[in-house]
Amino acid sequence: MKRRTLAAAVLAALPTFALPATATAAAAGTAPVPRPTAVVLVDFTDKRHPDKAAAVAKAQSVFFGSGLSVATYFAASSGGRTTLAPAPGKAGVFGPWLLDMPAGCDTGKIRTLGEAKMKANGLDPKAFKHVSFIMPSGGCGWAGLASVGGPTSWMPDGYSVAGTVHEIGHNFGLSHEPTQACPAGTLSNCADAGYRGKSSVMGGGGPQVGLSAPALVKLGWHTAAERVVPQSSGTYTLTPLYGQNRRFLDIPLSNGDRLVAECRRRGFGPDVDVAEGVILYLVRSGAYQKAIQVDTTPETTEKGSTPLGVGKTIKDLGITLKLVSQTAAAAQVQLTMNGAPAPSPAPTPTPVPTSTAGPTSTPAPTSTAAPTSTPVPTSTPAPVPTPSPSSSSTARPTTGPTAGPAGTRLQVAPNPARPGGVVTVTAGCADGGVRWVTSRAFTHRTIKPARTTGTWTQRTTISAKARSGAYRVWLVCGDHTVRRATITVRR
């Protein structure tokens, strides 16, 4: 049985919370689907909760209270899709029950003995989506712990709503959401910058901000229309992530990663104290639960200083993204993909009707809506987080160099190729030299010259695990020009 990862969180006391009326707008007319939750208070042989009634009342308030609580937070962040609640016919808080062990930090033993107490009291631990053990403080050096993707969490009795929401986020499968500072205007050569963001409880933002757009993708808490995956250059409208008719962008990058752009405004759903503006996230290898917030202003280090400024541009990995304008209602960005120019901004944002989506543990279908200034193509295939093989008749192999500026070319031969076979990649860049060539078909996904060169030839192998189908091959030049070819793998 695979052992689940544990993650710790820092707790903080926050003011009381009133759930805004817009929090459940996306699921209006439907009741949140409850996730059965058991909060188990435990005592040790040498250390106990000093006031049983106070301990039970605190747990009831933190987990199930009508103000700021774990239940109201996830109801708001999910758009009314789910919440935490006691199991039908059961109390939500149990104990305190005495465990036959001294005070300590052995979480495995606490869980084993705690689950035994649950069974002795007629409770099946497997009947709960979440089981939280609340214990007397024992000097463990952490203020909360949880299994990532599992049901269990542990909290010393100094816990608060802030840390508890964070730990339950781990139960949902979300990792920490750190910040990286990249050289201004780029997405490469980034350095860890702690937790400067203020847009997710998983990134140190506290429970008065909702989850990030990548987290919503991981959890499937969005509709197909709300998540827009651009297929071409254009001007796109972003609307508040927790408002009605919301829109956020999920942009494919030339190296197979994603750039997610969202608009955040206070006063919508759980976003009471969020950093306002257009916020960007890097999603590597399709791991939306491990998104990294991009600090677009690395010269500033204060909390919440990461949003992209009006008129500022990010240019890297085959895309150019510029924030054209923003108001209290929306933001407009110009996106250039693969060097194709973006049309002028649309005069007004186009509203997107919302619809209700049921809870799911996998990402919801993506929207392939075109930018607001161009019509929606009717034959565009649904995009995926990273390039994948396709048998579509429209994805024919490229037998010669791709079109582009004079001197810019990309060719792979032989084509088709077999798994484990050797192919020759020929690449040329008009300006800036060849940076790298990448494809999921290759054994070594990314290959690059030892030094920058205008033309480059390299032999590489097709992965022995590659399935039959068409794979995209990407060339990235030093001037950020990107060219694409296709290689077909046949078993």
Write the pLDDT tens digit of every residue in 448-462: 888 777 888 899 999
Question: Is residue 57 predicted with pLDDT exceeding 70?
Answer: yes
Of the pLDDT bands very low, low, confident and very high (cuts 50, 70, 90), residue 163 is: very high
| pLDDT for residue 432 | 65
Can you tell me the mean pLDDT for 61-76? 97
User: How many angstroms separate the CA atoms of 311 and 321, rounded?
Assistant: 10
Distant-in-sequence, close-in-space partners of 186: CB < 8 Å, separation ≥ 6: 314, 315, 316
Task: Please state, rounded to an integer, the average pLDDT across all residues of the chain.
Answer: 82
Question: Is residue 362 predicted with pLDDT exceeding 90?
Answer: no
Of the pLDDT bands very low, low, confident and very high (cuts 50, 70, 90), residue 25 is: very low
pLDDT greater at residue 93 or residue 451:
93
Share of the chain above pLDDT 70, in %: 78
Question: Is residue 267 predicted with pLDDT exceeding 50?
Answer: yes
Q: Domain 409-489 classified CATH 3.40.50.10860?
A: no
Question: Is residue 30 predicted with pLDDT exceeding 90?
Answer: no
Share of the chain above pLDDT 90, in %: 64
Range of weakest confidence among 142-156, 249-263, 370-384? 370-384
What would the pLDDT profile of 378-390 be if each residue is shown by its tens digit?
333 223 232 333 3
| pLDDT for residue 479 | 61
| pLDDT for residue 480 | 58
Q: Which of 155-159, 196-200, 322-326 has the highest mean pLDDT?
A: 322-326
* Residue ranges of the chain that CATH labels 2.60.40.1930: 409-489
Of the pLDDT bands very low, low, confident and very high (cuts 50, 70, 90), residue 445 is: confident
Of the pLDDT bands very low, low, confident and very high (cuts 50, 70, 90), residue 345 is: very low
CATH class held by domain 6-171: alpha beta
| pLDDT for residue 6 | 52
Of the pLDDT bands very low, low, confident and very high (cuts 50, 70, 90), residue 409 is: confident
Can you tell me the mean pLDDT for 394-414? 54
Q: 441 with 463: CB under 8 angstroms?
A: yes
- What DSSP string runs through 73-124? HHHHHTTSSEEEEPPTTS-SEEEEEE-SS-S---HHHHHHHHHHHHHHTT--
| pLDDT for residue 18 | 37
- What DSSP string runs through 35-52? EEEEEEEEEBTTB--S-H
User: How many angstroms separate the CA atoms of 334 and 202, rounded?
Assistant: 29
CB-based burial label for 4 (10 Å; 0-12, 13-18, 19+): middle
| pLDDT for residue 17 | 36
Structure tokens at 269: 């759903």
| pLDDT for residue 16 | 31
Question: Is residue 346 predicted with pLDDT exceeding 70?
Answer: no
pLDDT greater at residue 168 or residue 403:
168
* Residue ranges of the chain that CATH labels 3.40.390: 6-171
